[in-house]
Structure 1
Amino acid sequence: MTQLHAIEKAYQRIIDKQEMVQSDPYRLHFHIMPPVGLLNDPNGFVFYQGKYHIFYQWNPFATTHGQKYWGHRISSDLVHWEEAPIALAPDEWFDKDGCYSGSAIVHDEKLYIFYTGNVKDKEGNRESYQCLAVSDDGLHFDKKGPVIEVPKGYTAHFRDPKVFFKDDKWLMVIGAQNLQEQGEVVLYSSSDLENWFYRGPLTGSHRNKLGEFGYMWECPDLFHLENKDILIVSPQGLEAKGYKFNNIYQSGYFTGQVDYENPSYQHGSFEELDRGFDFYAPQTTMDETGRRLLFAWMGNAEIGETQQPTAKYGWIHALTLPRTLKWKEGKLLQMPVKELELLRKNQVAYDNITIMNQQKQLNGVAGNVFELQITVTDWNAEIFSLTVGESTLCFDKTSSTFSVERKCFNKQGTESRHCRLDKLENIQLFKDTSSLEVFINNGEEVFTSRIFDDINEQAVSFQANGQVTFDVQKWDLKKIFN
């Protein structure tokens, strides 16, 4: 099957299912989602020729994980995203079973994308290749084929190349599984983007005092921020520890210093990036202003996918909102990009609202698609909570715990996620038709979740055990897709 034929099949699928997909009341208003089928990892996040490009893993033909293409969106403001031509289709011997995750860089005014070609034989045995494709216009890509094969000492679970430039050479980190079935991140270098040299493992399970730490590390992303070398990675196989690691797979970061000449990485502990239910495979880029920006998959593996109500409309999953990363007081903070203010309309504001041992609703603080900001100005309480639709956000001062509770996808009860929090200063949340992203204390903690509540307008309720005074701002948010 040629690339053209494979892409034509995908476009035909979009046409055939468009009416059904668009009839879903849970289609999101301001998040990137697939035109049909399944979306997962963000890929190739890059700033090129004055615009932001984001690609994503995409199976057009089912709401399950199958042959993956690369979908593509372009924006001038990180808010409004136009659909671009399909970038990659699984049509060559080296990627016939899926164009898996990867990254993009700009060189000599061309856009280079690196991705993992997934290949399986008739018995289901896997092969993987790190592949290159190049574009002169950022829209149409010429596949150059594999540039890296799996080195000795590793299984075929060897994928997700992230490329960056440092000290006059190109570097690449790859997620890997060694022959002992332990997760690692390995380093490569190149002078020309085509000939790559294996430099060795940077870190992984049973390295750098980690002990047992997962059987596979996916989607590594290594960058420098505020004199720190930060490695974002998604380890699989971590066991839950109290409030930590409660999803099937985790995403987080290490902080330390990398020795690129004698490859090694001295780092601290693993910190989760997001405490919610649906966050995985984050990827970052730096834009022309020097901001470090992040997208992630608003989903997490196969758990609950068949129970999500969008599946019966022929689509599933989305990307998170784009976020800005900052380093402050030993912690990586995430905040929604400032450009999202372009979506605001119909502001409602209240100052110095005081509630004491009561539940309260505020006129106009309701809806189905909105942004809400709460700033605590005085606190003399044990518990403060707010209910958004059928989800509850709660700060318990006595246990120093913040939690988010949602209705289970199968509608059988509720489930919750938690984090430790010493004090509550502010909450910023974005409610879309079927998602909730909550930023606590200017991005100190973040909870990202898909939610499938009553689609009609719902009020926000505030409740305190004790006395709390706070300011409220609420905006409706414009729809970015037709």
Structure 2
Amino acid sequence: MQWTTEQRYTRIEDIAEKDLTALKEKVDRSPWRQTYHIQPETGLLNDPNGFSFYNGEYHLFYQWFPLGPVHGIKYWYHTKSKDLVHWENAGIAIRPNDDIDSHGAYSGSGIEHNGQLYLMYTGNTRDDQWVRHPKQNIAVMDEKGVIEKWKTPVIDHVPDDYTDHFRDPKVWKENGTFYAIIGAQRTDKTGCVVLYSSPDMEKWTFEGEIKTGLPRFGYMWECPDYFTVDDQGVFIFSPQGIAPDGDHYHNIYQSGYVLGNLDVHTQTIQHSDFHELDRGFDFYAPQTMETPDGRRIMVGWMGLPEIAYPTDAHGWAHCLTLPREITIENGRLIQRPVRELQSLRGIQMEAAAELSNETKTFDSFSGTSFELICSFTIHDAASCGIEIRVNENEKTVITYDAVQKKVILDRTFSGSPVSTDYGTVRSCHLDAECVTFQLFVDSSSLELFVNDGLDVFTSRIFPSDDCTGIRFFASGGRASCRAVKWTIGG
């Protein structure tokens, strides 16, 4: 259906309970509801927000339009967890019902301060001429989980030389001072980020634009994040308007990082080249936090803006990725599934085979929700890999091409199609004689970690109910295969 502007800006508070119940029942009938990923009860989920540890629990909020699978007026929805694995829905956290966020509570971040969790977010407001006026606002959560918004913005205007695309503050504390980077667009329609500082989270000073080696890299930088891992600075952002280049940048919008330490006094960062965080089809707007034991954890939106998904017809869209631990090794950002996810492992199955220009299945290797770790040693095969969610007509294929030295994810035949205008194959370079694929497969998604997190492919897939097969193959020669699979759920 086509949503009118009026429908997109209808608040959940104005909807009859029976209509919300009917929508929830429709969503629950969807065959692609996830079993162990964070997903909306109804409507559309997008950016993760306010990811933090406070009062003994992990808190993760997300952008939410409850009434349908479209980008309407955004709320913050709250989930919480004690272990990064089992998440409890805690309800709406921020409602866009004040002048400071009248047209949506947009993205932001969280930080503990004065024994409370401070949430800094962008309030989307529009005037009578529909001109946007973004505000940077604060909401505070106490130990009882009660959240109150401050009535006035802490940053009430956009600095000169920037457009109204000005949003997504990410806050951290350094040497006793709070800093926030905000995604921005210059008036010449190029993307950047700016820096603010504050002694107390209340009074904020504009420090200037952060000077990078990417002066004309897309037209808007969304969802910036800055942090350090073992004293190595990492700057993550999601640039819009990057043209495809070889195997890179084939999604509608990208998310990536540069390595370099930010000098907050000069607003400069000397950095590495830009690298995509994820090589799959559906990953955007990630956010990180630090755990009590010092790990840096990242969660991303498993979806993209302006793309239709098959679940739209069922009244909902999107989910969040599994939490990933970030490390920096040999000048690369490495992502691994957090160790806590091992608690999801159910029945374990193991298999091994010598594959010679053939495809094999193993007893008990099937399913729709599972973790699978498979290692291939290539002898003289031209390619080898795994097919998952297989039936007679559908399959999702993960290949290591030993000739091209590439990992290839192909969802051409994965079921109901998604954004085929942007292609059905994603790939990245890998030169290796041994390849390990770690897969987390859910009802409608795949997260693939290659060679212990060297590269990651995140993708939604929408197969038929009977797509439960798993197959292992080698083409053009021989490869050894060893696999371990665990059931998840059910």
In which range does the TM-score fall when normalised by the shorter chain? over 0.9
Find the aligned partners of 2:45 and 2:53 in 1 and give their Cα distance: 21
Matched, 1:18 2:24: yes
For residues 239 and 457 of structure 1, do their structure 2 counterparts lie closer, same or farther at Cα, with a shift above 3 Å needed?
closer
| Cα distance in 2 between the residues matched to 1:327 and 1:36 | 37
1:223-238 to 2 correspondences below 5 Å: 223-238=227-242
| Residues in 2 aligned to 1:183 and 1:55: alpha-carbon distance in whole angstroms | 26
Task: Say if 1:363 and 1:174 are closer, same or farther in 2 by CA, change over 3 A.
Answer: same
Q: Decide which of 285, 290, 295 is 2:294's aligned counterpart.
A: 290
Structure 1's 26 and 79: CA in aligned 2 closer, same or farther, altered over 3 A?
Answer: same
Question: So what's the TM-score if we normalise by structure 2?
Answer: 0.92
Matched residue, 2:249: 245
Question: Which digits, 9 at most, give the CA deviation of each residue in 1:69-110, with x for residues without a partner?
Answer: 001101001111111021011111111110000000011210
Superposition map of 1:22-421 within 5 A: 22-137=28-143, 139-144=145-150, 145-148=152-155, 149-203=157-211, 207-208=212-213, 210-303=214-307, 305=308, 308-351=309-352, 353-377=353-377, 379-389=379-389, 390-407=395-412, 409-410=416-417, 415-421=424-430
Contact 2:417/2:462 (<8 A) preserved = no
Distance 1:216 1:392 in 2: 33
The number of residue pairs the alignment matches comes to 467
**Gaps in structure 1 of 5+ consecutive residues:** none
- The alignment partner of 2:247 has SS state of coil
Aligned-partner Cα distance in 2 for 1:46–1:79: 14
Q: CA RMSD in A?
A: 1.8
For residues 19-71 of structure 1, the C-alpha deviation after alignment (integer angstroms, 9 at most, x for no partner) is 11111111000000001000000000001111111000000112110100001
Shift of 1:6: 5.6
**Offset, 1:478:** 1.6
Instruction: Give me the whole-angstrom Cα distance separating, in 1, the residues matched to 2:43 and 2:387.
Output: 32
Q: Is the 8 A contact 2:219 2:239 kept in 1?
A: yes
Q: Distance in 2 between matches of 1:138 and 1:473?
A: 43
Which blocks of at least 5 consecutive residues in structure 2 are unaligned? 1-9, 390-394
Off by >4 Å, runs of 4+ in structure 1: 5-11, 411-414
In the TM superposition, what is the alpha-carbon distance from 1:268 to its structure 2 partner? 1.4
Q: Are 1:443 and 2:453 an aligned pair?
A: yes
Aligned residues with identical type, % of pairs: 43
**Do 2:416 and 2:463's aligned partners in 1 also have CA atoms closer than 8 Å?**
no
Instruction: Please report the TM-score for the alignment, with normalisation by the length of structure 1.
Output: 0.93
- How has the CA–CA distance of structure 1 residues 141 and 7 changed in structure 2, closer, same or farther, with 3 Å as cutoff? farther
CA contact (8 A) 1:278 1:298 kept: yes
Partner Cα distance (2:12, 2:316) in 1? 18
Alpha-carbon distance between aligned partners in 1 of 2:242 and 2:424, rounded to the nearest angstrom: 20
In 2, are the aligned partners of 1:185 and 1:217 still within 8 Å (CA)?
yes
Separation (CA, whole Å) in 1 of partners of 2:363 and 2:97:
56
Note the alpha carbon deviations across 1:126-183, whole angstroms, 9 max, x for none: 1101100112136221111311121111111000000001111101010000111110
Equivalent-residue separation in structure 1 for 2:417 and 2:84 (angstroms): 33
Q: How far apart, in 1, do the equivalents of 2:473 and 2:448 lie?
A: 18
Q: For the Cα contact (< 8 Å) 1:87–1:139, is it kept in 2?
A: no
SS of 1:429's equivalent in the other structure is: strand
Name the CA distance, whole Å, in 2 between partners of 1:42 and 1:100: 11
Question: Contact 2:81/2:87 (CA < 8 Å) preserved in 1?
Answer: yes
Normalized per residue, which structure has more strand? 1
Which letter maps to 2:429?
R
Residue 398 of structure 1 aligns to which amino acid in structure 2? V
Q: Does residue 483 of structure 2 align to residue 472 of structure 1?
A: yes
- CA distance in 2 between partners of 1:160 and 1:402 (Å): 33
Secondary structure of the 1:366 match is: coil
Give the SS at the match of 1:267. coil
* Distance apart, 1:468 and its partner CA: 1.0
- Aligned pair in 2 of structure 1 residues 66, 459: CA closer, same or farther (>3 Å)? same
Q: Is the 8 A contact 1:276 1:449 kept in 2?
A: yes
In the alignment, the residues of structure 2 paired with residue 376 and residue 95 of structure 1 have an alpha-carbon distance, to the nearest angstrom, of: 52
